[in-house]
Amino acid sequence: MTQEEIRKAAETYIEAEQDQVFADEVKDLLGKEDWPELSDRFYTDLEFGTGGLRGVIGGGFNRMNPFVVARATTGLARYTARAGALRSDGSRAAVISHDNRRYSREFALSAALVFAAHGIKTYLVDALRPTPLLSFAVRYYKASVGIMVTASHNPPQYNGYKVYWDDGAQVVSPDDTNIIQEVMAVKPGEIRQMEKDAALKEGLLEYIGAEIDDAFVAMVKRQSVQPDLLRQKGSEVRAVYTPLHGTGAPLVERVLGELGVQVMTVPEQRDPDTEFPTVAFPNPEEASALEMALDLGRREKADIVIGTDPDADRLGIAVPDGDDLALVTGNQLGVLLADYVLGQRKVLGTLPPKPVFITTIVTTALQRAVAEHYGAQVHETLTGFKHIASVMRDLEKDPEGPRFVLGDEESYGYLIGTEVRDKDAITATMLTVEMALHWRNQGISVMDRLRQIWQKFGYYQEQTISRNFEGQAGKATMDALMQQLRTTPPATLGGTAVERMYDVKTDRVFFPASGASEAGPGLGSSNVLQFFLADGTRVSARPSGTEPKIKFYISACSEPAQDLTALQCAVRDRIAAIEEDILTIIEEASR
């Protein structure tokens, strides 16, 4: 864009933005003639992707602000009024929730008033709530659509919102692309919002609180595999918990407390805080985010340490192992939950005749081995819980067919049962505590059980390499890197031959040695490449759909054996060699 084009775009935004703070921010940049910053804010519109919005908070078309939220919600409201599911009385409704990020409350209310202006009643939470409660609430209120205002575990300067359809799952095709078309068609002068007092008076806005909390907590408890175990022995468990300054504390503490579990919440991290002052990244995937919880866990001799991200859809844990606490990866906890839920339900006779476990293409293959061992069908999807929920929806079309039991993805997301259709760290927390109590009752630790699984199915280890690429130039670098990998895939990684490459975007499988190709498994189009090595190792490359980063997922394994020490060393060495090659590829692309 030329400076004149940028200036015109900025002036259009200033005129359209009703929040003076954001408008003045852009005015100030124009006054300073800060063209590089203005270019980044206006070179494109903040993309309303297939899941919704996410971006840095600030003035501009490429930022999260009240105008961008209202414009996006206008397109969403138009589509909902045309295609959203009707309730029994013939009306359409929306549910909106929000976390504790900067402007989350304001963005949520702005969206609600847009819906009201379009005649769509909105149930708006009376205070911050976690993402899984929003998914549950859409189904509870039989709404047509839902919005969760959150940027999940992103740094403090981000916010966004995720869009949910009438089944409580994030929107998928064709609704996602239809909504995007509606949003892109909205012009600044077409945005309408009802006044808050008028919306309340006309019944188009209703605040919700205790009722939905009670229903959600009851739902969580229904997912227990052995409810008597928790009722009888829950008081024996000492749990340390951190919500990482987010939304999780009220519901996690309530659920565990009502089950008798002793919960010690990290005091410095309990209260919501938009700035997440005690952590660099408010994400339980990051070991550093759980440092304070680990310290408290050691002092209190905790049986389990639990961390949830700001919108309480991701769960990370640590458990005793020897003289210290061991962090459990997302892949490992998924294995343990699949083993416990499927295994114990089979023992108790509560497993459906045709159980289903759903995971993603970048999650450890050990989960498939465990799930199939208990007789479950395993479905692999693209990354993201909207794809897992899509399979759940398809399964429900056949009343006599297979039934979903649980699903997960490697990035610390778990779902048990069908009453929520997104990652649910609160239910997963309850079941993880129950699992730890079960194995303790059997005389072994959680880590002992994980080692037993490795001995039976083989030692599996995963490594994720993540590199951020900020701004306009960063996106171009990521695009070029993926194009390079597509057109000239590596012949070897870590010294091992690449036998085949699966391009998920084109659904083609390529064989580098022969130059041949064939049709893929038909998972759907996504910007993902997977490299399958001669020794069984799998490497996946995927630009994030919600953050300015690219991720490489390495998954390696060994044959089953009783002595794990030598196998672990060999697998770790293999991963280290592959990691070195990938870092070289990234560095060369960044020059």
Nearest to 417 by CA among 405, 402, 409: 405
Cα of first residue to Cα of last residue in the chain, in angstroms, is 24
Is 152 an annotated catalytic residue? Answer: yes
Structure tokens at 538: 């799998």
Helix (H, G, I), strand (E, B) or coil at 544: coil
- Residue length of the chain: 591
Helix (H, G, I), strand (E, B) or coil at 516: strand
Distances (CA, A) of 141 to 123, 144, 145, 295, 312: 8, 9, 10, 41, 21
What is the three-state SS of 396-409? CCCCCCCEEEEEEE
Ramachandran area for residue 203 (φ above 0: left; ψ -120 to 50: alpha; else beta): left
My answer on whether omega of the bond before 174 falls inside 30° of 0, hence cis, is: yes
Question: 542 forms bridges with which residues in the sheet?
Answer: 551
C-alpha dihedral, 388 to 391 to 396 to 397, nearest 10°: 160
User: Which H/E stretch holds residue 135?
Assistant: helix 131-140
* Catalytic residue chosen out of the listed positions 135, 152, 555, 558: 152
Q: What is the DSSP string of 173-224?
A: TTHHHHHHHHHHH--GGG-----HHHHHHTTSEEEE-HHHHHHHHHHHHHT-
Q: Is 49 exposed, middle or buried (0-12, 13-18, 19+ CB in 10 A)?
A: middle
Nearest to 154 by CA among 286, 330, 315: 286
Which residues are marked as active site?
152
